[in-house]
């Protein structure tokens, strides 16, 4: 068990398939975070999507399954009263730990520090020391996220890029008066 010190970021393609991700609207519905919060975190570099960051007009961010799992974990920590500065420390811990299977991790906090537990023994040791106040199991978040994403279509970077180009082309035609404003797609 170790105290959170180091970056909880997805550093590989989603377990759901290379190059496949979800738009911000799906992330909002799945995590409970607001679009404004997600956009702010992406703009400030606190959490950028692994798959596709919004660049230019019409492009949308695409988040992998792992990205959504991480964001949902952050939301759970925020909901339990953990300050964003502590979540930033949790972010660094998980990256520095080198853990690839996030479903095997439980984050425990005493309200002041966040600890990483990889086993039941770690959890018991922390509780016996009187430190732990609450725990966030990434396995339960993993299962919730998988179940929720079944209802949404994942898209590839190529599909998202084509959608953005078509939308930009349509807007250009509207601006030039070739097609009327309010025309259907």
Residue 182 lies in a domain: no
CATH code of the domain covering residue 67: 1.10.1660.10
- Domain span at residue 136? 2-6+18-175
Identify whether 147 is part of a domain. Answer: yes
The span from the CA of 127 to the CA of 149, in Å, is 34
Give the model confidence (pLDDT) of 141-174 as tens digits: 888 888 888 878 777 766 766 666 677 667 777 7
Rounded to the nearest 5 degrees, what angle is found at the Cα of 17, between the Cα atoms of 16 and 20? 95
Q: Which of residues 14 and 124 earns the better pLDDT score?
A: 124
Provide the domain count of the chain: 1
pLDDT beyond 80 at 24: yes
157 vs 33, higher pLDDT: 33
Residue 18 has what pLDDT? Answer: 61
Residues 6+ apart with CB under 8 A from 150: none
Judge whether 11 lies within some domain: no
64-121 tens-digit pLDDT: 888 998 899 889 888 888 888 888 887 887 777 776 677 777 877 776 777 778 888 8
């Amino acid at each position: 068990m170790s105290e959170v010190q180091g970056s909880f970021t997805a550093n590989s393609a989603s377990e759901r398939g290379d190059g496949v991700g979800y738009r911000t609207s799906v992330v909002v519905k799945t995590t409970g975070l607001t679009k404004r919060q997600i956009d702010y975190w992406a703009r400030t570099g606190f959490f950028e999507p692994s798959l596709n960051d919004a660049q230019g007009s019409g492009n949308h961010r695409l988040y992998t399954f792992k990205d959504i799992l991480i964001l949902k974990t952050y939301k759970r920590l925020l909901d339990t009263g953990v300050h964003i500065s502590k979540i930033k420390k949790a972010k660094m811990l998980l990256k520095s730990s080198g853990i690839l299977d996030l479903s095997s991790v439980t984050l425990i906090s005493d309200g002041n520090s966040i600890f990483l537990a990889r086993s039941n023994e770690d959890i018991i040791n922390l509780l016996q020391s009187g430190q732990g106040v609450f725990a966030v199991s990434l396995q339960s978040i993993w299962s919730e996220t998988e179940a929720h994403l079944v209802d949404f279509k994942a898209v590839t970077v190529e599909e998202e890029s084509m959608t953005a180009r078509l939308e930009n082309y349509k807007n250009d035609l509207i601006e030039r008066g070739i097609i009327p404003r309010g025309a259907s797609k």
